[in-house]
C-alpha cells in the first residue's frame, strides 16, 4: 500500500562509519541539481524534541536499559514523522532520512537482542507500519566501519557533544547488527537495495544515483498510470 502517494521517502542504513551520511548528502545535491525538491533529516533527531532525545541516547555516560533505548528511538521517530517526514511527503517532496526503523531492528532487535518481533510491533503501533519507498543499505565490514566511526568521534569530540555510546559496543554486537541488516534486505527485497560501501566514494555515489533515478522514473510512471495521464515516451 502506498501511504504517501505524492512524495518519495528514501532512507539510508548501515553500520556506524559506513559512509552513509556522506552518500546521503551527495545524493541530495545530485537530486537538487535535477530540480527535485529534497529535504534531508536523520534519526535519532531531526526535530528540536528529537535532538534532545538524541543527546540522551548517544551520550556515553548514560547507562540505559535496552527497552528504554528502543522506546526513545521510537519517541524521536514519532515526532520526526509528524513534524518532518509526513508533511514533506504531503508536499510532494523527496525526503531523505539517515536511518529509520531498520536501524531499530538491527541495533535494538539484534544488537541488544530484543528481537525483531518487539521492534516491528512498536513500528506498527507508533508509525502505523509506514515504511520508506526505498532503503539504501550501505554494506560494509563491521570491524572497519566501527573503527572509522570511533576515530571520527574522537577527532570531532567537542566540549558539548559526546555521541559515542554505540561506538563503544563490542565486535559481537556489530556483527549481529550487520547480519540483521542483511536479513532485512533479503526479506524486503522490493524496498531495500544493498550497495557495496567498500568502494571509492565516487563509485558508490554513481551507483546510488542510478538506482534512485530508476526508482523515481518507475514511481512517476506508476502515478501517471493511476491517474490515467499519458506518459511521454510510452510504457
Ligand atoms: P549517528 O552518530 O547518527 O551514527 P552514524 O553517523 O554512525 O549513523 O548515531 C546514531 C546511533 O544510533 C548509531 O550508532 C545507531 C544508533 N541507532 C539505533 O541504535 N537505533 C535506531 O533506531 C537508530 C535510528 C539509531
Residue-wise pLDDT tens digits, 75-123: 999 999 999 999 999 999 999 999 999 999 999 999 999 999 999 999 9
At residue 65's C-alpha, the angle toward residues 178 and 60, to 5°, is: 75
Check residue 153 and give left, alpha or beta (phi > 0: left; psi -120 to 50: alpha): alpha
What is the phi/psi pair of residue 19, to 5°?
95, 15
The DSSP call for residue 17 is: T
Which residue CA neighbors atom 19 of ligand 1 most closely?
107
Report how far ligand 1's centroid is from the alpha carbon of 223 (Å): 33
Domains of the chain, each with CATH number or no CATH: 8-222 (3.40.50.300)
Residue-wise pLDDT tens digits, 152-207: 877 765 545 788 889 889 999 999 999 999 999 999 999 999 999 999 999 999 99
Q: Which of 166, 169, 174, 197 to mutate to test the pocket of ligand 1 (most atoms within 8 A of CB)?
A: 166
- Cβ–Cβ < 8 Å for 132, 80: no
Which residue CA neighbors atom 11 of ligand 1 most closely?
166
Q: Which of 12, 16, 56, 180 to mutate to test the pocket of ligand 1 (most atoms within 8 A of CB)?
A: 16
Q: How far apart are CA 102 and CA 183, in angstroms?
A: 11
Which residue is listed with cell 503501533? 125
Amino acid at each position: 500500500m502506498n501511504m504517501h502517494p505524492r512524495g518519495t521517502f528514501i532512507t539510508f542504513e548501515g553500520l556506524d562509519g559506513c559512509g552513509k551520511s556522506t552518500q546521503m548528502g551527495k545524493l541530495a545535491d545530485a537530486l537538487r541539481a535535477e530540480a527535485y525538491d529534497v529535504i534531508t533529516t536523520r534519526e535519532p533527531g531531526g526535530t528540536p524534541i528529537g535532538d534532545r532525545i538524541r543527546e540522551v541516547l548517544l551520550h556515553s555516560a548514560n547507562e540505559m536499559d535496552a527497552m528504554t533505548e528502543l522506546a526513545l528511538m521510537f519517541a524521536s521517530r514519532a515526532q520526526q514523522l509528524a513534524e518532518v517526514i509526513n508533511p514533506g511527503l504531503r508536499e510532494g517532496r523527496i525526503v531523505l532520512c539517515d536511518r529509520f526503523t531498520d536501524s531499530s531492528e538491527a541495533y535494538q532487535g539484534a544488537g541488544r537482542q530484543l528481537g525483531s518481533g518487539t521492534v516491528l510491533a512498536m513500528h506498527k503501533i507508533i508509525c502505523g507500519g509506514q515504511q520508506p519507498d526505498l532503503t539504501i543499505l550501505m554494506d560494509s565490514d563491521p570491524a572497519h566501519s566501527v573503527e572509522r566511526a570511533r576515530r571520527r568521534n574522537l577527532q570531532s569530540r567537542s566540549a558539548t557533544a559526546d555521541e559515542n555510546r554505540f561506538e563503544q559496543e563490542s565486535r559481537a554486537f556489530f556483527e549481529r547488527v550487520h547480519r540483521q541488516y542483511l536479513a532485512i534486505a533479503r526479506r524486503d527485497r522490493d524496498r531495500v537495495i544493498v550497495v557495496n560501501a567498500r568502494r571509492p566514494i565516487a563509485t558508490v555515489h554513481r551507483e546510488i544515483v542510478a538506482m534512485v533515478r530508476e526508482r523515481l522514473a518507475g514511481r512517476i510512471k506508476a502515478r501517471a498510470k493511476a491517474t490515467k495521464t499519458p506518459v511521454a515516451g510510452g510504457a
